[in-house]
C-alpha cells in the first residue's frame, strides 16, 4: 500500500498530527512539550501521511527568511514507530518539497537531526554552517535549491 499525503484540513486531522508528533518527539525523543508546540503551528502548512485510513506520518513547512530571501523551512517530520523503514519519511520530505514548490518556493531549508544528514543529502540538500543543538539534539542546517 502506498502512502498518501494530504494537507491537514480539519480538527480530526490536526488531532492525528498532534498524536504522531507527541509520540515521536515528546515520548521517544524527550523533546520538551514547550518546544514542540510552538506559535509556528498556527501559520505553518501541515501535511499528514495516510496508509489506508490510518494516519502514520506528519510534516509541516513554513516561510522563513534565509540569506535575504524567503524560503520554505521544512520541519517536524515524523513517522510512527511501527511504520518506519518503509520509505515514508522520504515520501513526506518529497511531498513537503512539492507542496512548497506549488506555493512558489524553489528553495527549501531544514534543521536536520545530524545523524540524518546523509538522508537529506540524498534528497538534494546541502549542509550550510556549523552543527548546533536544538531541543537537546544535534542538528545541522541544510538548504536545497531546485536550480
**CB burial readout 81-114, b (16+ within 10 A) else e:** eebeeeebbbbbbebbbebbeeeebebbbbbbbe
pTM of the model: 0.94
| CATH architecture, range 4-105 | 3-Layer(aba) Sandwich (3.40)
**Whole-number Å distance between alpha carbons of 10 and 7:** 9
**Whole-number Å distance between alpha carbons of 91 and 97:** 10
**Whole-number Å distance between alpha carbons of 71 and 125:** 13
Once rounded to an integer, what is the mean pLDDT over residues 19-36? Answer: 93
- Degrees, nearest 5: CA angle 72-73-79: 120
At residue 102, φ and ψ (nearest 5 deg) are -60, -35
Largest Cα separation within the chain, whole Å, is 42
Q: List the domain boundaries for the chain.
A: 4-105
Residue-wise pLDDT tens digits, 47-88: 999 999 999 999 999 999 999 999 999 999 999 999 999 999
Mean pLDDT of the chain: 95
- The answer to whether 76 touches 8, Cβ cutoff 8 Å, is no
**CB burial readout 12-39, b (16+ within 10 A) else e:** ebeebbbebbbebbbeeeebeeeebeee
Rounded percentage of the chain residues whose pLDDT exceeds 70? 99
Residue-wise pLDDT tens digits, 103-125: 999 999 999 999 999 999 999 99
Amino acid at each position: 500500500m502506498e502512502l498518501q499525503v494530504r494537507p491537514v484540513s480539519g480538527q480530526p486531522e490536526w488531532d492525528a498530527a498532534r498524536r504522531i508528533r507527541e509520540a515521536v518527539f515528546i515520548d521517544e525523543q524527550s523533546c520538551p512539550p514547550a518546544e514542540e508546540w510552538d506559535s509556528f503551528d498556527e501559520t505553518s502548512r501541515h501535511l499528514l501521511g495516510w496508509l489506508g485510513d490510518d494516519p502514520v506520518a506528519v510534516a509541516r513547512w513554513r516561510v522563513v527568511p534565509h540569506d535575504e530571501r524567503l524560503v520554505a523551512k521544512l520541519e517536524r517530520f515524523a513517522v510512527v514507530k511501527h511504520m518506519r523503514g518503509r520509505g515514508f519519511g522520504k515520501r513526506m520530505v518529497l511531498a513537503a518539497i512539492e507542496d512548497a514548490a506549488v506555493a512558489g518556493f524553489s528553495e527549501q531549508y531544514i534543521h536536520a537531526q545530524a545523524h540524518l544528514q546523509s538522508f537529506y543529502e540524498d534528497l538534494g540538500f546541502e549542509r550550510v554552517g556549523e552543527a548546533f543543538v536544538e531541543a537537546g539534539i544535534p542538528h545541522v542546517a541544510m538548504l536545497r535549491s531546485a536550480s
